[in-house]
């Protein structure tokens, strides 16, 4: 599976994510994900290893209520949302 920063969000979708950040007091990153064939997955893994270690961002401390709201927004928007420490 390949996930990347969501780049094709509409103005409405971006506004919804920004409002979610304000309401929850969290920084949220949106990802678009898609499945790859096994061969492409292995090729991508080799490329990523050549690029060096990934940038690590710690997850935010979100409670169950916040996570529930984030899951609901994910289902509506069709993207993966990750709350991170800013």
Number of C-beta neighbours around residue 9 at 10 A: 16
| pLDDT tens-digit series, residues 2-31 | 788 899 899 999 999 999 999 999 999 999
80-84: strand order across its sheet? 2-5, 27-34, 80-84
Both tokens of residue 45?
A: 């893994």
Report the Cα 59 to chain-centroid distance in Å: 11
pLDDT at 56: 83
Distances (CA, A) of 65 to 37, 61, 74: 36, 12, 14
């Amino acid at each position: 599976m390949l996930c990347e920063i969501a780049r094709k969000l509409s103005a409405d979708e971006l506004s919804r994510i920004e409002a979610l950040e304000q309401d929850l007091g969290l920084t949220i990153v949106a990802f678009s994900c898609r499945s790859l064939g096994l061969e492409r997955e292995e090729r991508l893994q080799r490329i990523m290893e050549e690029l060096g270690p990934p940038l690590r961002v710690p997850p935010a401390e979100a409670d169950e209520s916040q996570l529930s709201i984030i899951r609901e927004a994910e289902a509506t928007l069709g993207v993966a949302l990750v709350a991170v420490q800013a």
